[in-house]
Amino acid sequence: MASLCLSPLVRSPRGQWRETLPTCKLERYYLDDTDMTLHYSISGLEFFCSNSKTAVYKGSLKLPDQEDASVFEHEADMYEIHLRDLQDRVIPHCYGLFQYNAEDGKVSSFLVLGDCGSPIDDPRNFTNLYKSKVIDAVYFIHFAGFTHGDLSYHNILNKDGCPFIIDFETAKPHVCGVKEKLFIGEERKELGCTEMMRCAALVRAWANSYVKLEGIYTFLRVDLRRGNMDYLLSHLRHCNSDPTVYRPYVEQLVEQVEARRERYRNIPLEERLIVPE
């Protein structure tokens, strides 16, 4: 129901209109079935002119304070409609959106959610299991057809070892391009979804991008491949005019990285493929 508030009280300077204007909230009269919750107010009213049946006043119209309310309405829609099935699993239980219409026409909105703990902090403290749970929580939201839009530590709460995602102010419809699961500790790969890549980086899901040959050099993990030995040794010329002396050590490092790569590559396809619920 749209409403209008008038202030201050105005009297006609010439006394034709002695009655005061109402200060209570006026409800909008609709000519059709349209009904919107918008609250207008007009301040600084002055008498403008009149005839025998009507009077005209002039004042400043304050447009509806929609932003606060609509932001919450969008968020409430996310909890109560679009992601309803994820309540109590990866998003908090939502008890509803409550609104208070103040005298000045301002709308205060309160979205009431179940307690889901505190925001997560340092991902170095996360176990691989916890990292997987965060990734899965975001997958669920994506496969329900939405991106979060503002994924950060502040918007991931931890309750008894379970992550809950909050703050869907900027959530948008989304068709997720992720086809295969991300396994914690595997080498960084393209997932086909920007927000999932962000999520993986946030929880430090990938293997470290750098690998140290202790005391000598730090290689990029992606460079450590069989068949790439000459290129790898060329980085060590500054340590020794004959970098081939390091060959056995570099080969050992390459074998470690390749073995790990192989382990992830050999995960059966049925475990890798994502089947949205």
Q: Which is nearer to Zn ion, 13 or 173 (CB)?
A: 173
Q: In what order do the strands lie in the sheet with 118-119?
A: 118-119, 156-159, 162-165
At 213 the three-state DSSP class reads strand
Stretch that binds Zn ion, among 42-50, 55-63, 90-98, 190-198 (CB under 5 A): 190-198
At 5 the three-state DSSP class reads strand
Please tell me whether residue 141 binds Zn ion under the rule CB under 5 A.
Answer: no
8: preceding bond cis by omega (within 30 degrees): yes
| Smallest gap from residue 273 Cβ to Zn ion (A) | 15
Stretch that binds Zn ion, among 93-101, 150-158, 162-170, 171-179 (CB under 5 A): 171-179
Stretch that binds Zn ion, among 21-29, 140-148, 203-211, 258-266 (CB under 5 A): 140-148
Q: Which is nearer to Zn ion, 139 or 217 (CB)?
A: 139
Pairing of strands 39-50, 107-113: unpaired
Please tell me whether residue 193 binds Zn ion under the rule CB under 5 A.
Answer: yes
Q: Which is nearer to Zn ion, 44 or 177 (CB)?
A: 177
DSSP string, 139-187: HHHHHTTEE-SS--GGGEEEETTEEEE---TT-EE------BPPPTTSP
- Other CB atoms within a 10 A radius of the CB of residue 275 amount to 6
| Smallest gap from residue 90 Cβ to Zn ion (A) | 14
Stretch that binds Zn ion, among 88-96, 186-194, 238-246, 268-276 (CB under 5 A): 186-194
CA distance 197 to 193: 6
Q: Which is nearer to Zn ion, 144 or 257 (CB)?
A: 144
Q: Which is nearer to Zn ion, 114 or 276 (CB)?
A: 276
CA distance 225 to 154: 38
- Binds Zn ion by CB under 5 A, chosen from 39, 142, 148, 235: 142
Looking at residue 42, the DSSP 8-state letter turns out to be E
The alpha carbon of 161 is separated from its chain's Cα centroid by a whole number of angstroms, namely: 21
| Smallest gap from residue 8 Cβ to Zn ion (A) | 53
- Binds Zn ion by CB under 5 A, chosen from 76, 144, 176, 197: 176
For Zn ion, the binding residues (CB under 5 A) are 142, 176, 193
